[in-house]
Amino acid sequence: MTLTVRLPVAIESALAEYCADHGVTKSLVVQESLAAYLLDNASARSNAAAREPKAGASVSDNYKAFAAAGLIGGGELGGVSATNAVVRERVMQRIRSKRG
| Angle between helical axes of 9-22 and 26-40 (0-180°, round to 10) | 110
Alpha carbon distance 2, 62 (integer Å): 20
Alpha carbon distance 54, 46 (integer Å): 15
Q: Could you tell me the residue ranges of all domains in the chain? A: 1-40, 55-100
Instruction: Check residue 88 and give its pLDDT.
Output: 74
Regions in the chain scoring below 70 on pLDDT: 41-56, 69-83, 100
Answer whether 76's CB lies under 8 Å from 70's CB: yes
CATH node for 1-40: 1.10.1220
Instruction: Check residue 89 and give its pLDDT.
Output: 78
